[in-house]
Structure 1
Amino acid sequence: MPLRFSLLFLSVLWMSASRSQQSPEGLDYYFKPTTSIPRYVAVTEKKDSGWYREIFFWPEKTLAKSLWFKDALCEVEHGPQSTFDMDGFLKTRGTVDNGKKTGPWLSFDHEGFMTDSINYRNGRRFGISMSFHSNGYNEDSTNMDENGNGVQVSWYDNGTPSQAGAWVQDTLKNKRWVYFYKNGNRKATEDYAMGKKISSACYDSTGTQLPGECEEREATFSENENAWGKFLQRNLNPNVPVDNRAPLGMYTIAVQFIVTKNGELKDFKALTKYGYGMEAEVIRLLKKSPKWIPALQFGQLVNAYRVQPVTFQVTSE
């Protein structure tokens, strides 16, 4: 029944395509074309003002993206663009002019509250842009000129400053950036020249300077970069979708989790909904993981978000 339903849904899209010049296309987790079981289904239609494409989550069948393009290959975005989460809530909305963001771009959380209002000109941030915490307090404020040069000030959700510094060419940090703890004490300073960090200094929460340069480190499973892949291969049960009679095809499952300051994994959240026990199997596997090497930021241990994709394949052999 699930296989029959999947084929029926795609055939309905195909019949609709024949009548209105649409072309349904299966996309994988990374929005790349696939001939296997898709994570998304894209439907493209030629209209007077360009090519309009809707991308649906699959198998949820809810809208993920609403996009306009200049070309039939959908390579150059041009016009209003919107993205949505799996439950149908608007995530982002803005306009692209010939492949470059322009005007206000807005972001929203799951409850519909605006989290970002960023202005663009010719693909770069321009003018005053703001982002907000869930309690309504300002999180970031930037003021940029037409060349992408400007300043940023950020705050914690209690209103105390968290960081301040300058940007050049929209994305390159420049000159001195200063960071603060939530209690108001200085956390770190970093000196940049056109995006390149020259020097840094870190402090503990009492304001005492730590020795040496600030140490930064991503959360990793082991110093051996192949160790995590070997752990997954040893402990994953690849027969889960077969045992649960999933249709033939490839399924890329994605699970988000947090690596805590002590290296434990927690707060597992499936970002896909294929079912057939696959998301549950990946979460089971992650819960079995030994401790990771936690992330460092400004010389301090911090929590880090990670997303683990795992691909299952169901074949006829």
Structure 2
Amino acid sequence: MNFFKTILPVIFLLILHRASHGQSDTTYFSAYDVKLKKESKEYAAYYELNNGMSREGKVERFYPTHESYGFAFYAENRPEGHTKQLFKNGNLYQEGNYENGSRSGIWTLGFENGQSFASVKYDQEKSLNHAVVINIMDSLGTLLVSNGSGKYSGPNPLNREITIEGEFRSGLKVGEWTSKKEDRTLDIEHYTALGDLISGTSWDKDGKEYHYTVIEEQAKHKGGMEGWIKHLKKTFRYPAKAIRNDIEGDVDVTFIVNKNGDLENIEVLNGIGYGCDEEAIRVVSKSKWNPGKQKGQPVKSRMRFRVAFRLR
């Protein structure tokens, strides 16, 4: 054995919009594609059969009452390619493509009665909140927003539980916009004539007020990149068993940064064994994070973390 090998750990931080982990005959998910524990399956929007950690290619989805929920294509356990979601009656809810784990290109949406609802275009360089609106119709087929322009009041194409009111111009929000859920105002935002956010004010369920100038902020390591490198140098230990067996490779870890910045549900998505999986989890679990924010409010963030084990 060569005792003079140089150990080179490499770490990459990636955002994971949707991922699965663990292995089970039936895996339950929320409407936001978050994996649920079996004891929480009554809150599930859909389930998948016999996938667990092996989501590759076309994966069929089902409502808890067993009607088809649609399907999605996966590569390395994250959405890649065509996906389609259905209402229980079989009519289209939404359909589009994923690229590198994120929504991409034109997505079409429908109503439960079979009528077209909207078409939007996602830009990989911008957040989901900046999807460009092409057309929006009501459930009777009346065109409300045409070629990206028009005043609109109705369900948010990106989240139908919320109603929005304002003006679209060239597919983007301009002027003042209000979002509500039932009778509660969620936020009021102001945009430039070019669709850039100027400022926003949001309120949580307790009425606490938040001010923001960006729609979303991803969770970050408390020390930034420099702090993360220091944490790595101090914490990382290449497993002796892996060194003895010349084991190299990548370990993908998924975890949630909760609203307080604490880490939850740290699990290996793709592992290489020989103690490397456990080491990747240990390194992640000892890191400190600032929570992500959505419209100024702390939110849970699902992350994917790649630890590359290299020997030289």
Q: Which residue of 2 aligns with 1:202?
A: 202
Structure 1 residues 244 and 125: CA distance shift in structure 2, 3 A: same
Task: Give the strand-richer structure, 1 or 2.
Answer: 2
Are the aligned partners of 1:174 and 1:191 in contact in 2 as well (CA < 8 Å)? yes
- Residue 259 of structure 1 and its aligned partner are, at CA, apart by 0.8
Write the distance in 2 (CA, Å) between the matches of 1:241 and 1:259: 30
Pairs within 5 Å for 1:207-286: 207=207, 210=209, 212-213=211-212, 217-239=217-239, 242-243=242-243, 245-247=245-247, 249=248, 251-286=249-284
Hey, what does 2:185 align to over in structure 1? Answer: 186
CA distance in 2, matches of 1:167, 1:240: 59
Q: Is the 8 A contact 2:155 2:161 kept in 1?
A: no
> Which residue, 297, 300, 308 being the options, matches 1:300?
297
Aligned-residue RMSD, C-alpha: 4.4
CA distance in 2, matches of 1:260, 1:236: 24
Structure 1 residue 207, shift from structure 2 partner: 4.7
Aligned to 2:8: none
| Secondary structure of 1:271 counterpart | strand
CA distance in 2, matches of 1:294, 1:62: 28
> What does residue 117 of structure 1 align with?
95
Q: Is the 8 A contact 1:256 1:308 kept in 2?
A: yes
Instruction: Tell me: CA distance 1:308–1:165, structure 2 relative to 1, closer, same or farther (3 Å).
Output: farther
Deviations along 1:160-207, one digit per CA (max 9) or x if unpaired, are 42656666666x4444443345x7511212222333112322223255
- Deviation, structure 1 residue 296: 2.4
Unaligned segments of structure 1, at least 5 residues = 1-28, 31-59, 66-81, 95-104, 109-113
Q: Is the 8 A contact 1:179 1:186 kept in 2?
A: yes
Q: Which has the higher contact order (CA 8 A, sep 6+)?
A: 2
Alignment of 1:6-155 (within 5 A): 83-85=73-75, 91=79, 93-94=81-82, 106=84, 116-118=94-96, 124-125=105-106, 128-130=108-110, 142-143=118-119, 144-145=134-135, 147=147, 153-154=155-156
Q: Deviations over 1:237-292 (max 9, x none)?
A: 12456346244x5x2322121111111111123232323332221112222224x2
Question: Residue 156 of structure 1: CA displacement?
Answer: 10
Which amino acid is the alignment partner of residue 109 of structure 2? S
Cα distance change, pair 224–116 in 1 and its aligned pair in 2 (3 A): same
The residue that corresponds to 1:50 in the other structure is none
Alignment of 1:156-167 (within 5 A): 160-161=161-162
Aligned partners of 1:185 and 1:207 also within 8 Å: no
Amino acid at match of 1:192: Y
Tell me if the contact between 1:166 and 1:173 (Cα under 8 Å) persists in the aligned partners.
yes
Worse-superposed segment, 258-267 or 198-207 = 198-207
Cα distance in 1 for residues equivalent to 2:187 and 2:285? 34
Unaligned runs of 5+ residues in structure 2 are: 1-11, 14-52, 59-71, 87-91, 98-103, 120-133, 136-145
CA distance in 1, matches of 2:229, 2:57: 30
1-structure distance, mates of 2:79, 2:278:
26
Question: Equivalents in 2 of 1:115, 1:311: separation in Å?
Answer: 39
Describe the superposition over 1:54-81 as per-residue Cα deviations: whole angstroms up to 9, x where unpaired.
Answer: xxxxxx998559xxxxxxxxxxxxxxxx
Contact 1:187 1:207 in 2 (8 A): no
Distance 1:167 1:282 in 2: 46
Change (3 A) 1:213 1:288: closer
Amino acid at match of 2:272: Y
- Aligned residue pair count: 206
Q: Could you say which residue in structure 2 is the equivalent of 1:314?
A: 311
Larger Rg: 1
Measured in 1, the distance between the counterparts of 2:258 and 2:241 equals: 30
In structure 2, C-alpha distance between the alignment counterparts of 1:271 and 1:203, rounded to whole Å = 36
Report the secondary structure of 2:199's partner residue.
Answer: strand
Return the letter of the residue paired with 1:282: A
Alpha carbons of structure 1 residues 164 and 234: separation in structure 2 relative to 1, 3 Å: farther
CA gap 1:218/1:238 in 2 versus in 1, 3 angstroms: same
Q: Any idea what SS the aligned residue of 2:270 has?
A: coil
| Distance in 1, Cα, partners of 2:252 & 2:155 | 34
Identity, in percent, stands at 22
Partners of 1:293 and 1:61 lie apart in 2 by 31
Q: Matched residue of 1:229: which SS?
A: helix
Paired residue for 2:286? 288
